[in-house]
Amino acid sequence: MNELRTDSGDTSTGTKTPARVTGIGRVLIAVYGVLALAATGRSFVQIVSKFDEAPVAYALSALAAVVYIVATIALINRGAAWYRVAWITIGFELLGVLVIGTLSLVDPELFPHDTVWSFYGRGYLFIPLVLPILGMWWLTRHAPARTARDGAAA
């Protein structure tokens, strides 16, 4: 119970290959996973029960859900390619939450139906706004080039 050395991460995986799945990154991934689940669940409900009402908003919800799932997977996997995917998906999320969030404030008529990103993710405790920023911060500190190159085989 006294082994507190898991911070560095590598000791806990028992391998020498540096993974991004270390330390606080695990928490980030877990939160991404939860958000992916929440977004998927919501868009599932929206599409099944009332897609006709707002096809654009609900298609956007579904797209957001898929992007969250891909981001979660990209964060878990190692390698330069996945690293790039993580950047793209997380960047897309930040763009989405900023653009849709602003639009929903400026012109509420445009998005009468809630998406994950409406009002900067208000319906999700603003997690969609904070998470991409945390994700990017974390990615810059875990670039595969700086840690090692052997994960790039993926």
Which span (43-51, 79-87, 91-99, 145-153) binds other proteins, by CB under 8 A? 43-51
Q: How long, in residues, is the chain?
A: 154
* Structural Rg of the chain based on CA atoms: 17
The residue from 18, 19, 41, 96 that contacts other proteins (CB under 8 A) is 41
Q: Which two tokens stand for residue 90?
A: 């997380």
Q: Is 106 a residue that touches other proteins (CB under 8 A)?
A: no
Q: Is 33 a binder of other proteins (CB under 8 A)? A: yes
Selected binder of other proteins within 10, 26, 54, 134 (CB under 8 A): 26
Report in angstroms the alpha-carbon separations of 23 from 9, 81, 135: 5, 21, 14
Binding status of residue 3 toward other proteins by CB under 8 A: yes
Summarize the chain as % helix, strand, coil (round to 5): 75, 0, 25
Closer to other proteins at the Cβ: 72 or 104?
Answer: 72
3-state secondary structure 76-122: HCCCHHHHHHHHHHHHHHHHHHHHHHHHHHHCHHHCCCCCCCHHHCH
Nearer residue to other proteins within complex by CB, 14 or 145:
14
Minimum CB distance to other proteins smaller for 22 or for 104: 22
17 is a site residue for other proteins (CB under 8 A): no
Non-local (6+) Cβ contacts of 11 within 8 A are 5
Where along the sequence are the contacts to other proteins (CB under 8 A)?
1, 3-4, 6, 12, 23-24, 26-27, 30-31, 33-34, 37-38, 41-42, 44-45, 48-49, 125
